[in-house]
Amino acid sequence: MRQDQAYADFITAMGESFGDHVCPPVPEDDASPHECCEAVWSLLGTDVTPEILASLDDSGLDALAAAFGRYFEVPPPARDQIRAAVKSTLFRWPPGSLPAGPRHD
């Protein structure tokens, strides 16, 4: 996972956005930004970017909803909830807004 500040800010925004949209069925007390990131990472990996989120079609949104259900051990959120979380994240961090990560040559 990238360690730069811009990526940390994106991840924070993503976690907050998902936490705002997946309750219910995810219990509000469990939907912290970090836990929501863990649920996203369980499907998309720890190098998720705005471009990856923007590329999710309906089947990708359904898969992400299922990942949230598995992670939090609840029924999956509705596709529209996941779509709203992605839209909220991309409003804050649109594709192309995340600078390239530091090089590790």
Residue 25 lies in a domain: yes
Residue 105 lies in a domain: no
DSSP symbols for 49-86: -HHHHHT--HHHHHHHHHHHHHHHTSPPPPHHHHHHHH
Residue 77 lies in a domain: yes
Residue 82 lies in a domain: yes
Q: Is the pLDDT of residue 63 over 50?
A: yes
The model's pTM = 0.92
Q: Is the pLDDT of residue 33 over 60?
A: yes
User: What's the domain count of the chain?
Assistant: 1
Asked whether 89 and 14 are in contact (CB, 8 A), the reply is yes
Residue 104 lies in a domain: no
Q: Could you list the residue range(s) of the whole structural domain that residue 37 is in?
A: 5-92
Residue 100 lies in a domain: no
**89-100 average pLDDT score:** 94
How does the average pLDDT of the chain come out, rounded?
Answer: 94
**39-46 average pLDDT score:** 97
